[in-house]
Amino acid sequence: MDNKSNSGSIAYRLSATSAKRLTYQSGALFQGEKSIIIKHQDKHYFLQITKSGKLILTK
C-alpha cells in the first residue's frame, strides 16, 4: 500500500513486509541532485550517488 505524505515531505512512505519498514525512493530524496545531507543526532552525514549509480554514505 502506498502512502504519500501530504505534509510537504519529499519522499514516499511505503509499507513493506510485516516488520513495517519504510521505503523511500532515492529520486524523491535527491530531487535531481547528486548528494544530500542527512542530519542524525546533531551530526551531518553525506549521501552521494556515484557515477555508476551506487550510494555512498560518509560522515
Cα distance between residue 30 and residue 24, in whole Å: 11
pLDDT band for 59, please (50, 70, 90 cuts): very high
H helix runs in 1-59, sequence order: 26-30
The reported pLDDT for the residue numbered 20 is 77
CATH classification at residue 19: 2.10.70.10
The predicted-structure confidence for 14-49, as pLDDT tens digits, reads as follows 555 556 788 999 999 999 999 999 999 999 999 999
Burial of 30 (0-12, 13-18, 19+ CB in 10 A): middle
Q: How many domains does the chain have?
A: 1
Strand pairing category for 22-23 and 35-40: unpaired
pLDDT band for 1, please (50, 70, 90 cuts): very low
The reported pLDDT for the residue numbered 19 is 67
Q: What is the span of the domain harbouring residue 20? A: 2-58
The reported pLDDT for the residue numbered 27 is 93
